[in-house]
């Protein structure tokens, strides 16, 4: 009676079994390591969030008592006089930010689209310039705005402040726009080009609408950053205790009001500064959170 020989073992199957056995033997150790790593991540997240929550709670506690109808409808009053509000600062902040956004957004998105569609020496130079501009301290931007605008074009004005704020917003919008435009699938560009569309038409009707969620997020984040800048405005708009809608004149802004009133010896002016700080913080948080919510909604609608 002849013995039946077992077929030779497949090396691939043997190797797979060895890997599965090694994985099963180390499963408990890997679960413990994963739990420890996640715990450390949550711990550092809590360490980062606690100061933020503490600052927000403190500003709310200090600034909320200042909020009333007069606070939002009246202009500031001279030092030593009770009452007053921040209506002139709200108007000045809105006008300056609107002018800066109206100029920085089209220029920044055009530069971002150029960076996304080009890889030459000019694109590399522009990208490097945008990165350098992002790291420039805001006080340097304020000095530049003072030298370039204030000294040469009739003194302090809302336009000078908008120039400085736009200078800060521009590189943020440029880099955010580039990232959003590069996120558009290459197949969409190639399909549009294959149908005979020009590159400008493809960029305008395919790339920009598809990248709109990322573009909106970048623009709103840049606006939020521009709203909170104080140093450039100190050297460009100077401040104004009266309501002023004309950006060619000196204007008030919330960051300037907070800076000037926070070190006053009058308790009512310090209270106004806390209220203005709460208002500015609320606007920045709404823009930051709203930009992400809106971007997520637009991405969901386009699926």
Do the domain assignments include residue 250? Answer: yes
Q: So what's the pLDDT on residue 185?
A: 76
Q: In CATH, what number is assigned to the domain containing residue 280?
A: 1.10.3720.10
Do the domain assignments include residue 201? Answer: yes
Q: Are 156 and 92 in contact (CB under 8 A)?
A: no
Q: So what's the pLDDT on residue 80?
A: 63
Q: So what's the pLDDT on residue 10?
A: 64
Do the domain assignments include residue 215? Answer: yes
Cβ neighbours of residue 273 under 8 Å, at least 6 residues apart?
257, 258, 260, 261, 262, 264
Do the domain assignments include residue 251? Answer: yes
pLDDT along the chain (303 residues), means of 10: 54 71 73 88 90 90 88 78 80 91 90 82 87 87 88 85 90 88 76 74 76 83 85 83 84 88 82 90 87 77 64
Q: How many domains does the chain have?
A: 1
Q: Considering only CA atoms, which of 141, 153, 114, 147 is closest in space to residue 229?
A: 141
Q: Considering only CA atoms, which of 257, 254, 255 is closest in space to residue 270?
A: 257
Do the domain assignments include residue 115? Answer: yes
Do the domain assignments include residue 54? Answer: no
Exposed / middle / buried, residue 144 (Cβ in 10 Å: 0-12, 13-18, 19+):
middle
pTM (predicted TM-score): 0.78
Q: So what's the pLDDT on residue 9?
A: 56
Do the domain assignments include residue 22? Answer: no
Do the domain assignments include residue 260? Answer: yes
Domain of residue 142, residue span: 64-302
In which residue are the tokens 């955010």 written?
176
């Amino acid at each position: 009676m002849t013995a039946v020989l077992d077929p030779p073992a497949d090396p691939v199957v043997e190797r797979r079994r060895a890997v599965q056995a090694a994985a099963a033997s180390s499963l408990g150790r890997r679960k413990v390591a994963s739990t420890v790593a996640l715990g450390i991540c949550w711990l550092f997240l809590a360490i980062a969030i606690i100061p933020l929550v503490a600052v927000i709670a403190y500003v709310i506690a200090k600034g909320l008592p200042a909020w009333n109808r007069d606070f939002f409808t009246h202009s500031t009053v001279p030092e030593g006089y009770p009452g007053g509000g921040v209506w002139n600062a709200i108007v000045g902040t809105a006008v300056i930010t609107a002018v800066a956004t109206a100029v920085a957004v089209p220029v920044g998105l055009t530069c971002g689209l150029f960076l996304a569609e080009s890889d030459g020496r000019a694109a590399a130079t522009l990208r490097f310039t945008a990165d350098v501009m992002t790291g420039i301290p805001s006080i340097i931007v304020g000095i530049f705005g003072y030298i370039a605008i204030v000294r040469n074009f009739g003194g302090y004005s809302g336009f000078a402040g908008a120039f400085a704020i736009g200078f800060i917003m521009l590189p943020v919008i440029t880099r955010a726009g580039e990232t959003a435009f590069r996120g558009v699938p290459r197949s969409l560009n190639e399909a549009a080009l294959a149908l005979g569309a020009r590159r400008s038409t493809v960029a305008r009707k395919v790339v920009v609408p598809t990248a709109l969620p990322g573009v909106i997020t970048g623009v709103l984040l840049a606006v939020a950053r521009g709203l909170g800048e104080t140093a450039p405005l100190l050297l460009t708009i100077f401040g104004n205790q009266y309501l002023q809608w004309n950006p060619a004149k000196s204007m008030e802004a919330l960051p300037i009001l907070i800076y000037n009133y926070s070190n006053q010896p009058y308790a009512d002016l310090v209270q106004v500064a806390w209220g203005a700080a709460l208002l500015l913080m609320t606007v920045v948080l709404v823009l930051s959170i709203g930009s992400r919510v809106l971007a997520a909604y637009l991405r969901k609608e386009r699926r």
